[in-house]
Amino acid sequence: MNRLDRRRLLERALEAQCDASLSRLRAELLMETLAELGENKRTLQRDHDQLRRDAETIETQRQQLTELNQELELFSFGVAHDLRQPLVGARMLLQALPAGAACAAVDDALVEALDRIEGLLCLARLKSREFEVTTVDLSDLCERLVERQRQLSPDLRADVTIEAGLALRTDERVASLLFENLLSNAFRYGHADGKLALQVFSRPSVDGLVVGIADEGPGLSPELARRAFLPFHRAGGGGGGGGVGLGLALVDRAARRLGGAAWYEDRAGGGGCFLVRLPTAQP
């Protein structure tokens, strides 16, 4: 092999070596670029997910603020309008009636005003108080609340049946407020001719309990049923009187505070039935 051939062979070898080096460099550069693009994609995805979570948080906060503003407006309206009426009525009665009768009438009017104030405060507290989750014996709770209602209505002949074994992990104070107002509503409006037939029962539910309180009273018309849980609206269909129109609003707010819901159904065979769905609180 002469010198020229050796030179050509060397040049080809160098070219092949250069081509191989360039191929390796291109491959390395491509891998680095792909890795960088993958990391950038993951970063963009994380940023996108964070922005989505932030947007959801902002929307939730906006909805909460909207609800809070509505509650504040409701509270202001209630104080300005509904609490003024019994107090003005008390003053007018005091001026118009003889001293003995006036004292009792004024006392009744002031009691109504205080009941309204307490109801409004309960509505406000439900939104802000922290949960204290325990296992609540709802059957025992309803037994105690029914006994309290019997004491408040000694002339009412009440036949009350409470399903045994109703228990749920939930906040006892909120649950007590809920059932106290449901049973108070039943004792006030669910009787007929001085008799109250009341049944506390449960229905199957995937994540907790559905508890119903059914009576054989006059029930509610469709129009009354639609407005039953509105604040300052008396849902009685013709039974007893009294009340300030906050009991079922408290039931609705308490049920939603516990993650559930409250609604009304006509009772088969006559009467009415109020139901609440209560999910089991997480440990």
Average pLDDT over residues 59-66: 85
pLDDT for residue 102: 58
Helix (H) or strand (E) holding 31: helix 3-77
Helix (H) and strand (E) counts in the chain: 7, 7
Q: Which two tokens stand for residue 157?
A: 């002949």
- Classified by CATH at the fold level, domain 133-279 comes out as Heat Shock Protein 90 (3.30.565)
Give start and end residues of each alpha helix (H) in 97-214. 99-128, 138-152, 172-189
Whether residue 97 has pLDDT greater than 80: no
Q: Which pLDDT value is given to residue 131?
A: 75
pLDDT reported for residue 274: 93
pLDDT at 16: 73
Provide the pairing of β-strand 261-266 with 208-215: unpaired
Q: What is the pLDDT of residues 69-90, one digit of tens each?
A: 777 666 655 565 566 666 666 6
Mean predicted lDDT score pLDDT of the chain: 79
pLDDT tens for 232-249 read 665 554 444 444 467 788
Residue ranges in 78-130 assigned as alpha helix (H): 84-96, 99-128
Return the pLDDT at 123. 62
